[in-house]
Amino acid sequence: MRTIQIGEKQIGLKATPLALLFYRQEFKSDLIGDLLKMQALANDPSALDSIVILQIAWAMNKAAEGMGKAFPNFESWLAQFEYVDFSDADTMMEIMNEAKDGFFRRGSRTAAK
């Protein structure tokens, strides 16, 4: 889990299986599939889809803070931010890094003895 700032507000992000479910329910799309499409950014910055980045942040924010509580739909969630600074590369990278770190973990597996 990590905390980022969007506009004037700090939010928590948590890349968990619940975030995948929330994303599918809200956007009728697969978070991992949409995240993989964003890989083109490395070679082509015009491939940026600002709404997809915010959708991923919404799903991970809901996973971090929304369990057992009322949580706004995407449009209402966006309305709470006065602005989003897409020139803040650190914030955009933190969103993508939380998703990458949470959904693409590589660890050593120990063989059963």
Distance CA 12, CA 55 (A): 14
Residues 18-46 have a mean pLDDT of 90
**Which one, of 1, 32, 33, lies nearest residue 104 by Cα?**
32
Q: How much is the pTM?
A: 0.88
CB 7 within 8 A of CB 81: yes
Containing domain of residue 41, as a range?
2-102
> Can you give the pLDDT at residue 5?
94
On whether residue 93 sits in a domain, the answer given is yes
* pLDDT surpasses 70 at 108: no
Residues 5-10 have a mean pLDDT of 94
Give the tens place of pLDDT for each residue, 61-89: 999 997 778 999 999 999 999 999 988 88
On whether residue 70 sits in a domain, the answer given is yes
Give the tens place of pLDDT for each residue, 48-64: 889 999 999 999 999 99
On whether residue 112 sits in a domain, the answer given is no
On whether residue 12 sits in a domain, the answer given is yes
Q: Give the Cβ contact number of residue 13 at 10 Å.
A: 25
* pLDDT surpasses 70 at 99: yes
* pLDDT surpasses 60 at 111: no
On whether residue 63 sits in a domain, the answer given is yes
If pLDDT is split at 50, 70 and 90, which confidence band does 107 have?
A: low
Q: How many domains does the chain have?
A: 1
